[in-house]
Structure 1
Amino acid sequence: MHWAYSIANRLIEQHPDRSTFVCASGISPSGAVHIGNFREIVTTYFVVRALEQSDQNLRFIFSWDDFDRFRKVPAGIDPAFEKYIGMPYSEVPCPYGCHDSYAQHFERQFENALSVFGIQPEFIYQSREYQSKRYNPSILHVLRKRKEIYDIVMAFKTGDASEDERDGYFPVHVYCEVCRKDTTTIQSFDEQTDTLAYSCQCGRQDMLYIPDATNIKLQWKLDWPMRWSREGVLFEPGGRDHSSETGSYNVAKALSEIIFENVPPAYLPYEFISIKGSHTKMSSSSGHNYTPDDLLNVYSPELILFMFAKYQPSAAFHIGMDEDVIRNYTEYERYREGYDSGTLNSELKEALELSMMTTEPWGKTPKFSHVSSLLPLVHFDRALLKDILTRNGEEYSIEELEPIVRRAEHWIKCWYPQKQVEVKECADTAFYNTLSSTERGWVQAFCGLLKSSEVEGEQLMEQIYAICHDEDKKVMRSNQKRLFTIIYNLVLNQNEGPRIPWLIQAVGPKKLLDLMEVSP
């Protein structure tokens, strides 16, 4: 059984009387939201999809933590934005001047990408929630319980508790009403009048009446369980960094149970995703990441969803934009064929179903490896590609071809120029002279087929295979592979290329003969 269905079944068993199952996720809009962040929401999304199969009433929420402080100027943003550090993301200007704020720019960017996947949660903007005063009763409750909270938090730390530190412990952030930064120090809290006194590095000193305050928020380890209680959350995943024995989740869990008297939600830790060749996690601030849009330019939405669905959340994996793209497409195409034929195991079958964006049958599409091999040879001409595919029994309209052609072209031109192969201008005598007499005989036999045979497709391939016949099947397969490598080198200066019949059609028999009939 797929892990999402296991979690869904467990939630239903544990909450038989629950009228609405609330599943949550969320992140801070600290910069361009990357595909590592995507694992946060897609993990929740798969559980929601699994719960839908049981006809449960569902609420799928995604919190934008845009009332968090702006901590660091990310790579690619004007360094002058350093002057806004300490302000809430919702109040930092848009770095590109196209949205109302920094937060809104990156929120809309990610929300638009999510819509392509058919992921449509209920978005909650925490800046609005805090400034609506909805959380003020909880903030007041926390301030009154602050010493008890201190004791709980210190139980997860190795350092010694201090009575002075306990007396001066205020687990909230205050944004100055003048400079709007959190460079503030809380001086005191009066439980009789519900007022808090603070000073700011800018020189401001002020008193806040908590029930009416709009510039105060809870620290993260209290903010999280407070929202669990407010929204009635039953399930939420979290990254590995929150999931250690003394990490945020276990601290928040204890605070939820003791301070908010609320049973914490079921929690699922997930591993980070890395860029192939790098062992560091993706980061918005460093610019070391792939965004969902980066992947959507290369992969279909369903394939991206499947890349996440096929792994347990606890499994780390990497994403590469090199030859891995062909491997991922080839695997996905094979699994789709297995799904249609009923030969796929149940876990992979459910992973594919969770990745489907429609209940309609699979759309017609050629294999990505074939398209990406042929496109450079036909100079990315859709009509020529369509003609070659048609001649080989694969009928597609230009409209059916366009999505995969567009992605293959983008991948080759922007990520993997090694695929941008060209047909040689003239015969490569130097390479030909490195061949053995047997190998030259194979090439001459291949040229003979080009001159005399009217046979195409699989019949032609059978005749080409026969050139390297050997009684030992293993030797014959090795010889055949070697012949194909020789052909690709003579024609493309590469060790690999499209299927030989397609190469013949793309390049033309005459040009192939010009390149392969070499005088030693």
Structure 2
Amino acid sequence: MAEVAGPVDWVSRFADEVIAAAEPGRPVVCASGLSPSGPIHLGNLREVMTPHLVADEIRRRGHEVVHLISWDDYDRFRKVPAGIPPEWAEHIGKPLTAVPAPPGSRFPNWAEHFKAAMIDSLAEMGVEYRGISQTEMYTCGAYRDQVLLAMRERARIDEILDRYRTKGRPAKGPKQSQKLDEAEAAAAAAAEEGSGAADEDDGTATTGYFPYKPYCGECGKDLTTVTAYDDQSTAMAYECTLDGFTETVLLSEFNRGKLVWKVDWPMRWAYEGVLFEPSGVDHSSPGSSFVVGGQIVSEVFGGRQPIGPMYAFVGISGMAKMSSSRGAVPTPADALGIMEPALLRWLYARRRPNQSFKIAFDAEIQRMYDEWDALAAKIAAGTAAPADEAAHDRAVRTAGTTLPVTPVPIAYRTLASIVDITTGDDEQTLRILHDLDPQRPVTALAEVRPRLDKAQVWVNTQMDADARTQVRTEPDKELLASLEEDQRESLRLLAAGLTGNWSLSGLTTLLYGVPKTMAGLPADTKPTNELKVAQRAFFVLIYRLLIGKETGPRLPTLLLAVGADRLRTLIGQ
């Protein structure tokens, strides 16, 4: 099949590289891994969006491709997050699918509870994928041959890992039992150090190296140590360091455990034939999972390391680097509450994976939307750069679907101001929207949805309470009585100009023009520093008369919201 030449951007370059590495006649496999150990946040979303965008580009070119998302729901429960009752600590060390869901959840376990929100968000964003539950894969014996192979080759794996170990192995010596509180404290301390897989132990123990970790048959936790293994019979003995439980099982029949992370990941690359999978900074440093895995997959499992760019962290305006192990952080569902899916896709598509960026939940979201609208205007005019146009195209559609867009994209900051002023009243909102542009009046709120709804959520959930706008119900008689004559004249000029300028652009011209008239300057005078000072003083006066503050939403929008009659009353005209 002939290749379809695409714009030169990071997605296309990776797609070229992956297609060149693909075997003819076999689907191209891109992969992501997500641990539902807690809320799956916007940093984790980069783990999905990077391969999604590459897979979608490959699909657009006519190749068969699958994007796998491995739900790491067989990982251990590491710590009790904020807001969860402390008694959940008794489940630390169990698989996530064996931990009860948070109180009040409708889902059967912890993992399913946190997977659900991400599944809904990915559907809203148009992400096509095939999900794999690692609990199901391990407990049904799908990886049995790979587990047995890893145990047979444990000495080779140990040697590979030893090339990168920076700390000495635990001293050989007699096993020491641990009390319950000591074991739980150790588990909690380990959880504090990182968010999961990057900090997992690599299988080293005082009893030797074993790349497999069983879950205890008594307590169900992974606080176990393999004490012996026979390659011929596959008999494996282990002891639980928490409750002292011991058991000998045939690993060829045993399904209650998993490979340690640094072996599990490369095993999956080989098992699934993964060609592309990115990894975060914590997995990409020397000696980390991705680097070591590249040698394990080739030397042990007979596969190859996927093309795997390192992706940088995603931040939130005003917040430090996100980590799911440290408090509440915004999730894709939170972002989709205040922004359209295409915009959220664009934020990931326009930056190379190794570039960090921030997602705005504060007032910066208005500037972000301004950039988005400006790009759309450039594309419509045919002046956008090819890479920018490609990022926009990847945001608004996929190979299989087109995402919903707002038919009339009124500026987000304008919509937020209107919602703030009207407190979301539909009738008042429509009146103001209708008057914004008399040449193209909005006649139904459906024309500005879903953007209007996103702005409403932002105002209700993210806007500071002290920044909300309350229009006066009665004139400020004391302030009006104290005005100088030139201030009264400026208000008379404003009132006189309302009739012919009742639109967003007309009011903007009027508001900036009154101080020019007061100074005896023609309307087309370019602003000087002196004129800017006069304009600012005029704006402050109007804000004080209308809302009792010196700043507020954009003044032309505020005047439209107040209405001409009420405006004349409040400014004493």
After superposition, the CA RMSD in angstroms is 2.5
Task: Say whether the 8 Å CA contact 1:31–1:284 is kept in structure 2.
Answer: yes
Shift of the alpha carbon at 1:332?
1.1
Write the deviation string for residues 71-113 of structure 1: whole angstroms up to 9, x where unpaired. Answer: 1111122211100111111111222342221111111221112
- Residues 46 and 431 (structure 1), Cα distance of their counterparts in 2 relative to 1, 3 Å cut: farther
What is the SS of the residue equivalent to 1:447? helix
2: CA distance between counterparts of 1:380 and 1:167? 66
Kindly tell me: are residues 463 and 74 of structure 1, through their superposed partners in 2, closer, same or farther at Cα, counting changes over 3 Å?
Answer: closer
Question: Within 2, Cα distance between the matches of 1:490 and 1:333?
Answer: 33
In the TM superposition, residue 265 of structure 1 has moved relative to its aligned partner by: 0.4
Give the whole-Å Cα distance in 2 for the aligned partners of 1:265 and 1:225.
9
2: CA distance, partners of 1:232 / 1:463: 65
What SS does structure 2 have at the residue aligned with 1:26? strand
Say if 2:494 is the partner of 1:446. Answer: yes
The answer on whether the counterparts of 1:431 and 1:490 sit within 8 Å (CA) in structure 2 is: yes
Partner Cα separation in structure 1 for residue 20 and residue 482 of structure 2: 70
Structure 2 counterpart of 1:381, from 405, 418, 425: 425
- In structure 2, do the counterparts of structure 1 residues 126 and 361 end up closer, same or farther at CA, with 3 Å as the change threshold? closer
**Equivalent residue for 1:403?**
450
> Kindly tell me: are residues 41 and 455 of structure 1, through their superposed partners in 2, closer, same or farther at Cα, counting changes over 3 Å?
closer
Give the alignment of 1:15-414 within 5 angstroms. 15=22, 17=24, 19-96=26-103, 97-160=105-168, 168-200=208-240, 201-279=242-320, 281-357=321-397, 358-359=401-402, 362-365=405-408, 366-391=410-435, 392-393=437-438, 394-414=441-461
> Is the CA contact (8 Å cut-off) linking 2:342 and 2:403 kept in structure 1?
no
Q: Which runs of 4+ in 1 moved over 6 A?
A: 429-437
| Separation of aligned partners in 1, 2:442 and 2:76 | 55
* Residue in 2 that maps onto 1:516: 571
Instruction: Give yes or no for the alignment of 1:467 onto 2:514.
Output: yes
1:12 offset after TM fit, Å? 1.5
Give me the whole-angstrom Cα distance separating, in 1, the residues matched to 2:237 and 2:365: 57
Tell me: CA distance 1:7–1:438, structure 2 relative to 1, closer, same or farther (3 Å): farther
| Alpha-carbon separation, structure 1, partners of 2:509 and 2:226 | 82
- Most deviating of 383-392 and 168-177: 383-392
Q: CA deviation at 1:305?
A: 0.8
What CA distance in whole angstroms lies between the structure 1 residues aligned with 2:141 and 2:344?
A: 39
C-alpha displacement of 1:317: 1.9
Q: Which amino acid counterpart does residue 527 of structure 2 have in structure 1? A: K
Equivalent residue for 1:456? 502
TM-score by length of 1: 0.92
CA deviations on 1:250-285 (whole Å, 9 max, x unpaired) are 011111121112111000111112232232x22333
User: Given that residues 374 and 498 in structure 1 are in contact (C-alpha distance below 8 angstroms), is that contact kept between their aligned partners in structure 2?
Assistant: no
8 Å Cα contact 2:539/2:555 also seen in 1: no
- The count of aligned residue pairs is 514
Q: Could you say which residue in structure 2 is the equivalent of 1:503?
A: 558
Contact 1:330 1:368 in 2 (8 A): yes
Letter in 1 for 2:559: I
**CA deviations over 1:118-161 (Å, ceiling 9, x no partner):** 11310000011001111111111111111111111011122356
Q: Would the aligned equivalents of 1:198 and 1:205 in 2 still touch at CA under 8 Å?
A: yes
Give ranges in structure 2 of 5+ residues lacking alignment: 1-7, 173-204
Once the 2 structures are TM-superposed, how far is the Cα of residue 434 of structure 1 from its aligned partner?
9.2
Deviations 1:207-247 (A, max 9, x none): 12111111121000100000000000000011111111222
1:420 corresponds to which residue?
Answer: 468
In the other structure, the counterpart of 1:489 is 544
CA distance in 2, matches of 1:150, 1:491: 73
Is contact 2:213-2:258 (8 Å) kept? Answer: yes
The normalised TM-score by structure 2 is 0.84
AA aligned to 1:373 is S
Give the gaps of 5 or more residues in structure 1: none
Matched residues in 1 for 2:68 and 2:250: separation?
Answer: 30
Matched letter for residue 399 of structure 1: A
Aligned-pair CA distance for 1:481: 4.9
- Contact 1:73–1:81 under 8 Å retained in 2: yes
- In structure 1, the residue matched to 2:18 is 11
